[in-house]
Structure 1
Amino acid sequence: MTFERKLSKLYQMDDQAWARHANPWSVWSRNTVLPLLIAAFWSREWLGYGAIVPVVLAIAWAIVNPHIFSRPASIDNWASKCVYGERVWLNRDRVPVPAAHRLAPNILSGVAAVGSLLVIAGVVLLDPWMTALGAAFVYGGKLWFLDRMVWLYEDMKDHPAYRALGTTTPSSRPADGGERA
């Protein structure tokens, strides 16, 4: 099981949730999660233990975001294709992806992970420059990763396992390989 599939299960991402998350509003509004988390954890300086409230709210936003938007009317846009590319990527242990798509996503995830460590250190140390540098690495790595997911989706959308992705009728077998309820 891929790490991404484990995260998908943690966020309770079934076919419906993936379809809703493909809404560009969901994709773009997820970019608010990191600044909200940074501000929430930084607020410990002003709120003390009361900072738990904004931290919980920021985490709740991260969890509910993929579930609250409606399915997009069309997936003929960059943001929606990012989401469907992520579905293809998380399923790569069951449906192999072309060789051209195997290395870059891992490198870009590593860039974002290094950025996350810098953000954490910056927030702990209350260092705005380290936090900002980390956030730049997170966003740079993640947005470039998402751009690669568009490319992956475009290359894989005609594969039998993915033909139904992005349609109004879910496939008979989920692209993430999970079981239907």
Structure 2
Amino acid sequence: MAARLFRMDEQTWERHASPWSVWTRVASLPLLLAAIWSHAWLGLWALAPVALVILWLWLNPRLFPAPARTDTWSARATFGERVWLNRKAVPIPDHHARAANILTAVSAAGFVVALVGALLNDWLPTVAGGLIAWFAKMWFCDRMVWLYDEMKNTHPPYARWLRAGQKEVR
């Protein structure tokens, strides 16, 4: 559902492989939780910062230029996510599907705890749930790198996404 909402076309995925896109997006969870928390002093006006963070999440993969090289961890994580989203058309190994589903569930559960904490302005569930969600998402991303590295060797179109950097001349 989120993939359809974000409407990621080929060019958007290419741009999202940028480390700037990946790492600034990873840093967005605390901003979202702070925006939700702000309802305590902003009331309904807190919807504005929440909307801004959601807009940022949509704009993020569109703002940064496509990277010259895509052999980085962050680019391969986005490629793995593309492979994961395409798993109905091109099946993936069961161990990757199982791990991704578990990590998604853990991340979602952590986010729900963090969301409830932010709505109740209780720092403990906000921080604990946020950390659980964030670490599970990072582990998911690492699994996506592994998935991509495995699938690029079995499905040639995936290998074409990879562009190695130039050798540095000294």
TM over 0.5: yes
**Aligned partner letter, 1:157:** K
CA distance in 2, matches of 1:35, 1:95: 34
Cα RMSD for the two superposed structures: 1.5
What do the CA deviations read for 1:64-98 (whole angstroms, capped 9, x no partner)?
00111110110111100000000001111110112
User: Does 51-60 or 136-145 show the bigger shift?
Assistant: 51-60
- Number of the residue aligned with 1:124: 119
The gaps in structure 2 that reach 5 residues or longer are 164-170
> In 2, Cα distance between the equivalents of 1:26 and 1:126?
29
Rounded Cα–Cα distance in structure 2 between residues aligned with 1:69 and 1:37? 21
Q: Which residue of 2 aligns with 1:161?
A: 157
Amino acid at match of 2:161: L
Opposite residue 85 of structure 1, the aligned amino acid is G
User: Which AA in structure 2 matches 1:165?
Assistant: W
Cα distance, 1:129 vs. partner? 0.4
**Do the aligned residues in 1 keep the contact of 2:100 with 2:140 (CA within 8 Å)?**
yes
Cα deviation, 1:24-75, whole Å, max 9, x if unaligned, reads 1100000222111111111111222222221111111111001111101101
Contact 1:19–1:166 (CA<8 Å) still a contact in 2?
Answer: no
Between the two proteins, what is the percent identity of the paired residues? Answer: 48
Distance 1:143 1:136 in 2: 10
Quick check: 1:84 aligned with 2:79? yes
| Cα distance in 2 for residues equivalent to 1:84 and 1:60 | 23
**Aligned pair in 2 of structure 1 residues 166, 7: CA closer, same or farther (>3 Å)?**
farther
Q: Could you tell me the TM-score, scaled by structure 2's length?
A: 0.90
1:27 match? 22
Higher helix share: 2
State whether residues 42 and 126 of structure 1, in contact with CA within 8 Å, keep that contact through their aligned partners in structure 2: yes
Quick check: 1:118–1:134 contact (8 Å CA) kept in 2?
yes
Task: For 2:10 and 2:162, locate their aligned partners in 1 and report how far apart those are by CA, in whole Å.
Answer: 10
Question: What letter matches 2:104 in structure 1?
Answer: S
TM-score, length-scaled by structure 1: 0.85
Aligned: 1:59 with 2:54: yes
Indicate the residue corresponding to 1:14 in structure 2: 9
The aligned counterpart of 1:136 is 131
2:111–2:130: 8 Å Cα contact kept in structure 1? yes
1:105 paired with 2:100, answer yes
Cα distance between partner residues in 1 of 2:76 and 2:82: 10
